[in-house]
Amino acid sequence: MKNGLLKLLPLSLLVAVGCNSGQTTQAASADQSGSSKTPSASSDSKSSVSGTPVPDSSTPATTGDKSAVASPPPASTPPAALPASLHHDGFDYSGVTHTAPIDLEMTSTANPGAVTTGSQTITFDGIKDGKAIYKVDRTGGLAAIGTEEWTISKDGVFMSKSSIVDAGGMAMELPAHPKPGMTWKFHAKASSAGINMDMVMTLTILRKEKVTTKAGTFEDALVVEQDGVGTMQTQKTRTVSQNWYVKGLGLVKAEMKTVGPDGKTQSVSIQETNAK
């Protein structure tokens, strides 16, 4: 799964519990193809990345089956007009160079046995004021999470527009040079299409590690933790998620736990099911 669902993971929970319509299949048929910051935005559209970067040794991201690590996925060449200053590590981890549709699968403890499926496609939309613009479209059960515009600047990858979420205009997805120890915040609001959300998210880059999804096994995935506090559907909520980014593919897996006002915990898992 490519990124962009990072800020919308709380909305993914609403989709999973049935607050939005979605395409679902039952677990009994899960064997069939089924077919989830440098300057960053808070309420005043400003924040910063902090933390001491930890040196790391990067190796290429790889795909394959779960029993073995295969060769790196093919990545499309960035548009020729893309300024060199924008082709940073954040750009590579964002997945914008992978132009083929990505199939996604979402499960939730709120609906045991049900699988919500959909896909995501990212397309280049030109250069504006020295920044690269990309459009993000989703289909199937993930269409309820909405569409987005991403802006890539020399400082990082930002969500500049969303059909559902107001994140202050420029909310960071990834800093230009992500390193373990970096942290940033954003303030996300939504009050349409049956969704009511007001949450402040704190994001921290934890480490790099191997991760396995239905699409395969990936080496050196960047792990970003998201800790959000606020309200969803007017109820006090805390969400904590871990998100795995792979160079050339973006966000391939996300696992979120949400604790409601009654103290009960619900879990949502989203993963990529293909990496073509």
**pLDDT tier at 72, thresholds 50, 70, 90:** very low
Domain assignment of residue 55, yes or no? yes
Q: Does residue 64 have a pLDDT over 80?
A: no
Contact between residue 15 and residue 116 where contact means Cβ atoms under 8 Å apart: yes
Domain assignment of residue 155, yes or no? yes
**pLDDT tier at 70, thresholds 50, 70, 90:** very low
Domain assignment of residue 2, yes or no? no
Domain assignment of residue 232, yes or no? yes
Higher-confidence position of 24 and 52: 24
Each residue's pLDDT tens digit, 179-208 = 999 999 988 888 876 778 899 999 999 999
Question: What span, in angstroms and rounded, lies between the C-alpha atoms of 270 and 15?
Answer: 12
Question: What span, in angstroms and rounded, lies between the C-alpha atoms of 188 and 230?
Answer: 10
Task: Identify the H or E element spanning 15.
Answer: helix 9-16
Question: What span, in angstroms and rounded, lies between the C-alpha atoms of 153 and 97?
Answer: 15
Domain assignment of residue 123, yes or no? yes
Question: What span, in angstroms and rounded, lies between the C-alpha atoms of 42 and 233?
Answer: 20
Number of domains in the chain: 1
What is the pLDDT, as a whole number, of residue 146? 85
Collapsed DSSP state (helix, strand, coil) of residue 43: coil
Each residue's pLDDT tens digit, 75-99 = 444 566 789 999 999 999 999 988 8
Domain assignment of residue 3, yes or no? no
- Which structural domain range is residue 244 located in? 9-272
User: Among 243, 246, 238, which residue's Cα sits nearest to residue 223?
Assistant: 243
User: Among 252, 228, 244, which residue's Cα sits nearest to residue 7?
Assistant: 228
Domain assignment of residue 230, yes or no? yes
pTM of the model: 0.76
Domain assignment of residue 215, yes or no? yes
Each residue's pLDDT tens digit, 205-248 = 999 999 999 999 999 999 999 999 999 888 899 999 999 999 99
